[in-house]
Amino acid sequence: MTLKAITLKAMTLKEKLASGQKIAGTMIRLTRNPAVAYLAKNAGLDFVMYDCEHSNYNFETLHDAFVTANALGFSELVRVPCNTKDYISRILDTGAIGIMVPMVETREHAETVVKYSKYQPVGDRGYTAGGPHTDYLGGKHTDLMEQGNAKVLSIAQIETKLAVENAEAIASVKGIDVLLIGPNDLSLSLGIPGDMMNPIELEAIAKVAAACKKHKKYFGMHAGAALLEKFGADLDVIMSLTDTELLTQGFAGIRKLADGLK
Q: What Rg, from alpha-carbon coordinates, does the chain have?
A: 19
What are the residues facing 28 on neighbouring strands? 50
Contacts (Cβ under 8 Å, ≥6 apart) of 61: 32
Average pLDDT over residues 206-219: 98
Residue 211 has pLDDT above 70, yes or no: yes
Burial environment of residue 253 by CB neighbours within 10 A (0 to 12, 13 to 18, 19 or more):
exposed
Domain 13-250 falls in which CATH fold?
Answer: TIM Barrel (3.20.20)
* Share of residues in the chain with pLDDT > 90 (%): 94
pLDDT in tens, 65-114: 999 999 999 999 999 999 999 999 999 999 999 999 999 999 999 999 99
- 63 classed as catalytic: no
In which band, very low, low, confident or very high, does the pLDDT at 194 lie, cut at 50, 70 and 90?
very high
* Calpha distance 116→126 (Å, rounded): 8
Contacts (Cβ under 8 Å, ≥6 apart) of 89: 116, 117, 125, 126
Residue 7 has pLDDT above 90, yes or no: no
* Share of residues in the chain with pLDDT > 70 (%): 97
What are the residues facing 218 on neighbouring strands? 178
Are 128 and 137 in contact, with CB atoms under 8 Å apart? no
Q: 3-state SS of the chain?
A: CCCCCCCCCCCCHHHHHHCCCCEEEEEECCCCCCCHHHHHHHCCCCEEEEECCCCCCCHHHHHHHHHHHHHHCCEEEEECCCCCHHHHHHHHHCCCCEEEECCCCCHHHHHHHHHHHCCCCCCCCCCCCCCHHHCCCCCCHHHHHHHHHHHCEEEEEECCHHHHHCHHHHHCCCCCCEEEECHHHHHHHCCCCCCCCCHHHHHHHHHHHHHHHHCCCEEEEECCHHHHHHCCCCCCEEEEEEHHHHHHHHHHHHHHHHHCCC
From 54, 109, 133, 141, active-site residue: 54
pLDDT in tens, 15-29: 999 999 999 999 999
